[in-house]
Structure 1
Amino acid sequence: MSEIAQKRDGEVALDFDPAERVEGGVVFIGRIRSAWNERADCPRNISSARESGQGARIELDPAYRAGLEGLKAGRDLMVLYWMDRARRDLIVQNPRHAEGPRGVFSLRSPHRPNPVAMSAVTIREIDPAGGVIVIDAIDCLDGTPVIDIKPWLPSVDMPAQG
């Protein structure tokens, strides 16, 4: 973590580092290449990223490139990525967009015990042999590690209505 975000009024930090309580392992399968190198410039969410007009790409490590078989331009994906420059100890946060402090699990903030983020994106171009997926947008810093890629399926991924 290169820069540690300062706590705002009402925020509560854990008295331990969640990174020291590892119970499983995560393998990074590649990196996201985006237009943003500074946290202050990065869009707040995927909608803002789309509004910026900045596309992005995912570059997979060679060992995982065969996993792109079957994907095509136009397909929607869920990309899970590790916000490696986020704080992990804030359990109550005071976001600028909300009234008063809120628990981390009621927010989409990158600052959380396990800084996993997820965005629904659309494939613009794909080069399976080169391990590159050009996507419509993303809301993270350049070089962010990718955890997983899954197809977005409306018949499965839409929340129940009612």
Structure 2
Amino acid sequence: MAAGDLGPADGPALRVIGRARTRWGPDDCPKNIGRARERGAPATLEIDPAFAPALRGLSVGQPVIVLYWMDRARRDLLVQAPRHVDGPRGSFALRSPNRPNTISQSTVRITALDTDTGRVEVDALDCYDGTPLIDIKPWLPSIDLPPGETG
């Protein structure tokens, strides 16, 4: 497996494009992006210089979907019983980072952008400092809103 890849050598691999820089650690990380915003903690996406050209076309104020690998989450929980719901639910019915593939996502807004250095500041992020980033995608209401909803 190449450096920066996540996954087994004989199966799908994800390339780490950078790291999230947040103020969160295991003892104080918010449970979701809404709580991260409430706590007023912007975050920085440090993109590896090799991938900085991929930031071209993004702009300050734009909403983006950030995908990240919750590298410290459990991968063996298929059914969970979180406190905020009544009864156990399957991992696919929850936003928990504990899942077969620990991919998480948040829709955030770009607050500052430096495409030369690969630094993208966003309004918030709900992951530990140093969490591997695996993708950034533009959020587009024409694509990302469910059918029949208006934005």
Taking structure 2 as the reference length, what is the TM-score of the superposition?
0.90
Q: Which runs of 4+ in 1 moved over 3 A?
A: 19-22
Partner of 1:135: 122
Cα distance in 2 for residues equivalent to 1:145 and 1:79 = 11
**Unpaired segments of 5 or more residues in structure 2?**
1-6
Distance 1:35 1:152 in 2: 25
The 1:92/1:20 distance shift into structure 2, 3 A limit, reads farther
Per-residue CA distance 1:85-122 (angstroms, 9 max, x = gap) = 00000001111111121111100000000000010000
Paired with 1:103 and 1:157, the residues of 2 have a C-alpha distance of 24
More helix per residue: 1 or 2? 1
Identity of aligned residues (%): 53
Q: How does 1:9-158 map to 2 (within 5 A)?
A: 23-38=11-26, 40-158=27-145
Structure 1: runs of 5+ lacking an equivalent: 1-18
Looking at structure 2, the residues matched to 22 and 119 of structure 1 have their Cα atoms a distance apart, in angstroms, of 29
Q: Kindly name which structure, 1 or 2, has the bigger radius of gyration based on alpha carbons.
A: 1
Q: What is the CA-CA distance between 1:23 and the residue it aligns to?
A: 2.5
TM-score, length of structure 1 as denominator length: 0.84
